[in-house]
Structure 1
Amino acid sequence: MEQPAGDAEDQELMRMVNHTLYEGHPVEFLDLVSSIMAGAEEPRGPMGSSEERITLADLAETFEFVDLAATTALLHVFAAVSSDDVLVARIRRTLRERQQRLPAWVTRLSEVRIEQVVEMRHVLRDGENYFLDVRLPDGFAMTAVVYVDNNLGPVVKDGYTIDAPLDAVLEQARAAVDEDTSLEPVDPADARALMEAALEIEAIMFPPMESESWPACRPLLRWLVSLLPSGGRVPEETMPSDDELDAIADGFLASPEGRSFNDPDHAALLDVLVSLGATYDVQDPLRWSPVNVELLLLDRVPRKVVDRVQVLTKLPDLLRAFIRYAYRLRGLRTELLVETLESVDRWEPEYQRLIRTPRAQGAEALARMAMGLPTGLEAHDPWEQLVAAVGGEVELEL
């Protein structure tokens, strides 16, 4: 049974809801509600959380007992965005009794549609941005952006909304990006399959991804992605065969960049570069960026590769030559090559320190990480720094 609103309407949250509901673009209200829903999600942690928390069902119950325009609007979004069928059914029963007059874009959220999806892709493939052309009832338009990181996933690393139609966003994006970046429409069903798979990975990552807008907008973006057509396929990155990997290594050793590295130590290290390149990211041994150079030097080689320091210490010079070879083969700009080589220079001193530090490696490192035990790499915590650095964030100021 609903209770009188009393002083609830004067509470700060209710004032914020009313302001965004009636005064601004709908995206402001939707972002606010999404942040409320995100705050009610199950916290992540290796051992879970023993603290009592307010769930979405608790919030909905509170709003159901306070009959205001603001609470009714919140409940409309909860009902549209939540995947809890039991909770949604309960909220809808409550909404049938509410009498407030609200904007149509709130009461008719079932009519929201995504007109198209555009992918922003850079030649270095650290990650892709997906721009969703969102149309709301009452003629409002907005753009939702989902960033899928390839270096850590593919995993959704960031997302945000823009209170402008996609055409306006793309016009400014095309004016801002360089010749190495493309903006092309993609199949909406395939985009949904890819983003949902990347959201599933994001949902289990610890520590969770965080940015100015993430995870606050996660519930909203997850719902918008679900409005795209189903039945799509996630593009498969095919790992090169052993013969293809051998051809890459042989091509390098026969090249001007690689002729001086034809000895047993460098052959072993070249196998490391090619194998790790084929295993991680987009499974392309010839793809090198400042970010995956950092990942290689500060995490993957120190943690996974077991060899003598006298051998491992030679890796950076080989890496520089291999990067030059890959960029020449791909025809990439010299400016990009310089930035990637500068990343090797930047991270080599720390790499040289790490390979000389007692540390767990291979299966032992994985076991100790799973148990929360030190591995010997903690002085440089690659996870926090790499999560902050990987891919970068694309923000458009309109």
Structure 2
Amino acid sequence: MADVVRKILADGPLALLQAMGIAVERGTPEVFSRFRLGESEPLDLSTLIDNVSVAPDVEYTIVLAVLAELLVDKPALQRRCRLEVELRSGQLPVWVRDLPRTRVYRAVRIGHALGDRDQLLLDVRIADHHETIAVMIDHVAFSDVSDLGVIQKSIDCAVADARDKGAPVVEMDLADARAWIEQASENVIIPRYEDSRLGFPAVLRWLLTKLPNGGQQRKSPRDDHRAAAVVFAAFFTSPQGARFTPRDEYEHLLGEIVDGGTGDPLRWSEYRVRRALDFLSFDDYWATDVLVDAPALLRVFIPIAHALSGIPSELTDRALAAIGEAEPAFRERIIAEARRWGDDEDWAS
């Protein structure tokens, strides 16, 4: 372990924090579900600390000092690590001694024109190292953390690049940033980040303790039922939407499609459209002739929704193209499912 620590130390603070974060994740399966039953045996953190504590080398003291920071969900183990570090006389690198003084100075949210995701950037100072931590929140599925890690540019450069590309940029209150990230972390069902990100969730949870509490969580558009009702009423009373009858069945179908994605009835990306059609399936609750009309319904609804929200026509065209690409396979799948469940209607036409 001493050799490994010496090698990682040459790569800077975050490299060692991430390496120790992997140990914390493996030892905290109830929090970090990346290590699930059958993938890896849980690590006994108490035994790890016992084993590290018997070695006097400074590298082991460094391990204990880093674990003392990252074990935010294990206060008893945290205290053991801190006591052991205090009892040792080994000289620690300055940045390790300064870990408790790590600060997050700024939080910025880079949005997506169609609401698919938000990227939260944290400007972090660890000792004399400035780092930009990025947390991606995907709203098309569960508004969960879909990726996280350090980016190789300053937060100012990242913000300037986003503005140059026309992305919405919002300076966030630090407490709100913490609330958003904690909310998105709790929404994770199956972690989707790559193996290269292992250890970063533990680092992120530690960094969040450097932010103030009491912030406002993100409010999903799907919670604004009144706004959705206004949009649906405008659509189904329009000449284009009035042809979808019976209205109650089509409105229910459209509501299911909207709720299954970002929850925003007014903004539709290519990815959201494809995912919406992929996740619709035959059910006895649906009339099959209504369900197979889902692509046609979206093809008429999306231009009206985008006109109401001022979305550029080129983005609308991309969404409509995605519908056209997905429609044949969608229709074939739904009809096959209906036949399997006893719908004997002749769908050849």
If the length of structure 2 is used for normalisation, what is the TM-score?
A: 0.85
2:12 paired with 1:25: yes
3-state DSSP of counterpart to 1:236: coil
Match for residue 77 of structure 1 among 46, 66, 69: 66
C-alpha deviations, 1:47-100, integer Å up to 9, x for none?
956975323333222222222222221211111111211111111121113233
Q: Which runs of 5+ in 1 are unaligned?
A: 1-12, 360-398
Offset of 1:135 from its aligned partner?
0.9
Assess if the C-alpha contact under 8 Å between 1:294 and 1:343 holds in 2.
Answer: yes
Counterpart-to-counterpart distance in 2, 1:17 and 1:51:
22
Structure 1 residues 58, 271: CA separation in 2 closer, same or farther (over 3 Å shift)? Answer: same
- Which range moved further: 143-152 or 336-345? 336-345
Could you tell me which amino acid in structure 2 is paired with residue 323 of structure 1? Answer: I
Asked whether 1:109 is paired with 2:96, we answer: no
Q: CA RMSD in A?
A: 2.8
Partner SS, residue 168 of structure 2: strand
Rate the CA distance shift 1:234–1:339 in 2: closer, same or farther, 3 A: same
Q: Aligned pair in 2 of structure 1 residues 141, 310: CA closer, same or farther (>3 Å)?
A: same
1:305 and 1:91 map into 2 onto residues whose CA distance is 58
Letter of the 2:249 partner, please give it: A
Per the alignment, residue 333 of structure 2 pairs with 354
* Residue deviations 1:17-73 (CA, integer Å, cap 9, x gap): 21231x23322222222233333332749x956975323333222222222222221
Structure 2: 5+ residue stretches without partners: 339-349
Within-5 A mapping of 1:50-199: 52-82=41-71, 83-137=73-127, 139-162=128-151, 164-175=153-164, 178-179=165-166, 181-199=167-185
The alpha-carbon deviation at position 134 of structure 1 amounts to 0.4
Q: CA deviation at 1:327?
A: 1.6
Q: Deviations over 1:148-170 (max 9, x none)?
A: 12122221111101355423443
1:250 to 203, 225, 233: 233
What SS is found at the alignment partner of 1:119?
Answer: strand
Per-residue deviation, residues 187-237 of structure 1 (Å, max 9, x unmatched): 1111111211211222xx1x3333244443110011112211111121333
Looking at structure 2, the residues matched to 147 and 303 of structure 1 have their Cα atoms a distance apart, in angstroms, of: 33
- Using the aligned pairs only, state the percent identity: 26
Equivalent residues in 2 for 1:223-234, closer than 5 Å: 223-234=206-217
C-alpha separation between the residues in 1 aligned to 2:276 and 2:250?
Answer: 12
Amino acid at match of 2:215: G
SS at structure 1 position matched to 2:220 = coil
Distance change in 2, residues 1:59/1:173 (3 Å): farther
- CA gap of 1:241–1:33, structure 2 versus 1, over 3 A, is closer
* Cα distance in 2, alignment partners of residues 54 and 35 from structure 1: 10
Contact 1:31 1:217 in 2 (8 A): yes
Aligned partner of 1:283 in structure 2 is 263
Is the aligned partner of 1:272 residue 2:253?
A: yes
The one-letter amino acid paired with 1:194 is: W
CA distance in 2, matches of 1:75, 1:100: 12
- The 1:161/1:304 distance shift into structure 2, 3 A limit, reads farther
Q: 2 CA distance for matches of 1:220 and 1:51?
A: 20
- Return closer, same or farther for 1:132/1:92 CA change in 2, 3 Å cut-off: same
Distance in 1, Cα, partners of 2:244 & 2:295: 16
- The corresponding residue for 2:341 is none
How many correspondences in the alignment? 333
1:326 matched to 2:309: no
1:336 partner letter: L
Cα contact 1:25–1:163 (8 A) shared by 2: no
| 8 Å CA contact retained: 2:282, 2:291 | no
Determine whether 1:310 maps to 2:289: yes
Q: Which residue of 2 aligns with 1:375?
A: none
Deviation at 1:131, TM superposition (A): 0.4
**Change in 2 beyond 3 A, CA 1:265/1:14:** farther
Distance 1:319 1:231, change over 3 A: same
Change (3 A) 1:169 1:58: farther
Shift of 1:146: 1.0
Deviation at 1:280, TM superposition (A): 4.4
Asked if the contact 1:117–1:132 (Cα under 8 Å) also holds between the matched residues in 2, the reply is: yes
Partner Cα separation in structure 2 for residue 48 and residue 62 of structure 1: 25
Amino acid at match of 2:132: T
Q: Distance in 1 between matches of 2:162 and 2:63?
A: 33
Alpha-carbon distance, 1:124 to partner: 0.8
Q: Which of 189-198 and 68-77 deviates more?
A: 68-77
C-alpha distance in structure 2 between counterparts of 1:52 and 1:29, whole Å: 22
- Label 1:303 to 1:19 Cα distance change in 2 as closer, same or farther (>3 A): farther
